[in-house]
Amino acid sequence: MPPSHLAEVLPTGAEIRSTGAPGWFAVVCANGGRAAEVPGTWSASIEWLVRGLAPRFPELRFVELRYRVRSWKRLDLCVEDALAAVDAAGAERTLLMGFSMGGAVAVRAAAHPSVVGVLGLAPWLPDELDVSSLRGRRLDVLHGALDRWLPGIPGVSPSLSRRGFERARRLGIDGSYTLISGAVHAIALRSPVGGLVPLPRAPRWAELTAARIAAVRDRAT
């Protein structure tokens, strides 16, 4: 299921594309990043998930974000882009879903008044990340058990996201942490011709992501 309309340019210069009609609840999806300061791209992992999830949640709006600059060296810019995407989604309640670096972006943007929770997918939650923005929200983390950084291959150790999750829990923030057996960092890859190639544990990622979205939606109703 492709995005429902063409990309929309945000006031920050970033772009979003949306699947589903505007409504009271939106899932705003933030991509990962890298050290190099490169132009933003659409996330293959998020795009694959949205294509499968949107038909299961026809009442929800899924908003994918493409940053101006996709780099953790410009995290402040990425957070500005995420906040602009939440504003553009225009929902009464918003779930921020962040993949990899998008996890840190989502946590930082969680202070937006419409945000009810953050769903981190293999989230990068560095030890210096302030998680107090999650107060009054929920943090759910899904992470591949085999995820790790290797030379030339991006990854985030589950131990890093676990420490971030435990810091949030010590602040009284509710949530859940789930390791996905056999899963690596990415959920899907983009082929040289532009198609999406799901990785072996992608269906399990989709199943658990759908369950977390439904739970947050139901609590927010």
**CATH code, domain with 158:** 3.40.50.1820
Give pLDDT tens digits for 49-59: 999 999 999 99
Judge whether 91 lies within some domain.
Answer: yes
Q: Give alpha helix (H) positions in 62-201.
A: 75-89, 101-109, 158-170
Determine the Cα–Cα distance for residues 221 and 218; give it in Å rounded to an integer.
Answer: 5
Specify the range with the lowest mean pLDDT, choosing from 2-6, 120-124, 145-149, 184-188: 2-6
Q: Are 126 and 149 in contact (CB under 8 A)?
A: no
Number of domains composing the chain: 1
pLDDT band at 39 (very low <50, low <70, confident <90, very high): confident
Judge whether 3 lies within some domain.
Answer: no
List for the chain the helix, strand, coil content (%; round to 5).
35, 25, 40
Judge whether 176 lies within some domain.
Answer: yes
**Model confidence at 5: pLDDT above 60:** no
Domain that holds residue 159: 8-220
Q: Which residue has the higher pLDDT, 149 or 203?
A: 203
**Model confidence at 220: pLDDT above 70:** yes
Judge whether 2 lies within some domain.
Answer: no
Judge whether 134 lies within some domain.
Answer: yes
Mean per-residue pLDDT, 68-90: 95
**Model confidence at 7: pLDDT above 90:** no
